[in-house]
């Protein structure tokens, strides 16, 4: 296959390059795209140097699939070019997730939806992926009606600028220098910021709205109600989520444990608990702290943690292509 990655130099794009190799996608040619600032640089794929190029119709032509790892604005700008090239666009941004004819896919949960695409498939939000991977096995026992989610999101969710900002702020504080803030709305070093995305009219942020809207589409539960609070924490990699949920019928701890143990892509922890340092740089979502919820009758509470650059973004996107190829 001839594959392109737009945003190849970013946190997610770089990871996509590795995931193509790890998931044994048959890549005949790889074209890497970034901003004009990066043109002239090279990146390694299977020990070979690949030149970074600027996006152009000419260089998109001939590709079978293009992965998007850029902002929603750029994804919208490049979509017509990718579609004109006749390539499948698997996009990691939020640009097309709500569109009716764009499948929104977590392969373990709704992989079959990918086949209904019309040229574009969207990769869900990173916290949504971590939370739904933990919730889906329970939803299979009885449909989830309500969920309360709090997220603890790593700085790499904001890309390389987010990683750099936490690193630089820690060093500035150690050296007694002034702290500079750019990627986040407040100092993130030694702090928590309960605001991610943009402000909505109902008091929730755009990031918080994604958990409900994307959850409904992926789980095929149009009535699902979600209250979500998204918090940025000074962790480099791996998002964590605390979830309380109530299903249509009560679900026992034993039934949930068994479902979680058997579900692909999950590591269920009966002993110990999931933590970002343990879940980084691998594809499993760890789920633990499973207990009865004290507010939702017959409901459950749990904690989950997963690498949001991998399963929350790059690995999930490449897995979508893997699913499509498996049926060819
Ligand atoms: P570049 O490295 O040249 O700026 P992150 O969110 O991790 O910072 O990644 C953003 C990605 O989007 C980078 O690969 C960045 O490339 C890329 N990018 C930024 N602007 C453009 C553009 N106009 N066209 C294509 N890619 C872009």
The string of pLDDT tens digits covering residues 101-135 is: 999 999 999 999 999 999 999 999 999 999 999 99
Q: 258 CA distance to ligand 1 centroid (A)?
A: 42
Average pLDDT of the residues in 184-211 = 97
Match domain 2-123+313-326 to its CATH number in 3.30.70.20, 3.40.50.720, 1.10.3720.10, 3.40.50.10260: 3.40.50.720
Grade residue 167 by pLDDT with cuts at 50, 70 and 90. Answer: very high
Q: What is the Å distance from ligand 1's center to 200 Cα?
A: 26
Catalytic pick from 117, 239, 247, 305?
239
pLDDT of 31 strictly over 90: yes
Q: What is the CA(26)–ligand 1 centre distance, in A?
A: 25
CA distance readout (Å), 8 to 70, 202, 257: 9, 35, 38
Task: Tell me the torsion sign for CA atoms 219, 222, 226, 228.
Answer: positive
pLDDT digits (tens, 9 = 90+) for 50-68: 999 999 999 999 999 999 9
Ligand 1 nearest-atom number relative to CA 38: 3
- Helices in the chain by DSSP H: which ranges? 11-22, 57-60, 72-84, 107-110, 126-139, 159-174, 206-219, 253-262, 276-279, 315-326
Residue 327: what pLDDT? 81
Retrieve residue 49's tokens. Answer: 């140097």
What percent of the chain stands above pLDDT 90? 99
Write the CA distances from 292 to 141, 226, 252, 299, 301, integer angstroms: 16, 18, 8, 6, 6
Average pLDDT of every residue of the chain: 97
Query: Which residue minimizes the CA distance to atom 12 of ligand 1?
Result: 7
Tell me if residue 126 is catalytic. Answer: yes
137 CB-contact burial (10 Å; exposed 0-12 / middle 13-18 / buried 19+): buried
CATH of domain 128-308: 3.30.360.10
What residues does each domain of the chain span?
2-123+313-326, 128-308
């Amino acid at each position: 296959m001839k594959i392109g990655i737009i945003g190849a130099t970013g946190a997610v794009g770089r990871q996509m390059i590795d995931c193509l190799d790890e998931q044994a996608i048959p890549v005949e040619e790889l074209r890497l795209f970034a901003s004009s600032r990066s043109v002239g640089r090279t990146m390694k794929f299977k020990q070979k140097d690949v030149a970074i190029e600027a996006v152009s119709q000419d260089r998109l032509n001939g590709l079978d699939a293009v992965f998007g790892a850029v902002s929603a604005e750029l994804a919208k700008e490049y979509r017509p070019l990718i579609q004109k090239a006749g390539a499948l666009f698997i996009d990691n941004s939020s640009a097309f997730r709500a569109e009716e004819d764009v499948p929104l896919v977590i392969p373990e949960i709704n992989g079959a939806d990918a086949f209904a695409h019309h040229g574009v498939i969207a990769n869900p939000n990173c916290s949504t992926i971590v939370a739904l991977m933990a919730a889906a096995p329970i939803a299979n026992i009885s449909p989830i009606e309500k969920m309360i989610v709090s997220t603890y999101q790593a700085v790499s969710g904001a890309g390389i600028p987010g990683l750099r900002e936490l690193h630089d702020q820690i060093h500035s504080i150690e050296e007694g220098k002034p702290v500079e803030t750019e990627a986040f709305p407040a100092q993130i070093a030694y702090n928590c910021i309960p605001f991610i995305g943009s402000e909505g009219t109902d008091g929730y942020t755009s990031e918080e709205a994604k958990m409900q809207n994307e959850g409904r589409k992926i789980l095929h539960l149009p009535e699902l109600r979600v209250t979500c609070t998204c918090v940025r924490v000074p962790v480099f990699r791996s998002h964590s989520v605390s979830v309380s949920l109530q299903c249509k019928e009560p679900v026992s701890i034993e039934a949930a444990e068994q479902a979680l143990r058997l579900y692909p892509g999950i590591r269920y922890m009966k002993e110990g608990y999931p933590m970002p340092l343990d879940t980084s740089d691998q594809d499993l979502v760890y789920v633990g702290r499973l207990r009865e919820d004290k507010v939702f009758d017959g409901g459950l509470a749990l904690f989950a943690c997963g690498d949001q650059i991998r399963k929350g973004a790059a690995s999930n996107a490449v897995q979508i292509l893997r699913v499509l190829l498996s049926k060819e």
